[in-house]
Chain A
């Protein structure tokens, strides 16, 4: 069974600085997909970024980028130029094919003014 681990329950960053959130996972699959979702205080679940395991290139979406290390089963999220609106719970998630998402326990990120 697949598992997803987020070892940082809480993190804090100053506005305009860069922060990296960690995520590791365990799977015996070779073909899978990884995601980061954010959940702001409004409780919505918002897709941040997606990575395909068979692609070497790290995904980027504006200020958000990932460091995907397949051999190490690591999938960290880097947020550059942090903004107050980035304050949220961030969840790392694993998906095989078109199946269910398996979520980590989340990292609560606070962006300080």
Chain B
């Protein structure tokens, strides 16, 4: 499958636990973007990464959230000490990084906090 792969599709965590969301970009893409979609809302940008670099994290909450895209392996969005308000769908997208090229999305991870 050459598309953007996200796992898990569904993740359930209790308050205070950690959530790790993974994203493997489309083949040939080296730029990854994370978005969050709260219930009944549009997607909101969180962070933009290139291999081993964070390009733009202006949409990322300052506390508890972090993201990485290592030289080898998938991009990881990590949420520490989750709270009920973190319940959302988290989408990853990838692109070639060339100006104007569309971003292709994964199927998302639906995070539920008990």
Contacts and interface: CB of A to CB of B under 8 A. Distances in A.
Interface residues of B, number: 27
Interface in B33-49: 33, 35, 41-45, 48
A103 B100 contact: no
B99 A98 contact: yes
Given A91-B42, A98-B98, A105-B41, A44 B33 contact: no
A97 B99 contact: yes
A33 to B, nearest CB: 5
A35 B99 contact: no
Interface residues of A, number: 23
Contacts of B99: 97-98
A102 interface: yes
A35 B89 contact: no
B107 A43 contact: yes
Interface of A: 33, 35, 37, 42-47, 50, 52, 91, 95, 97-106
7 contacts: A43-B110, A45-B91, A91-B43, A98-B98, A98-B100, A103-B43, A103-B44
Given A33-B100, A100-B48, 7 more contacts: A43-B110, A47-B102, A47-B104, A52-B100, A98-B99, A100-B33, A103-B44
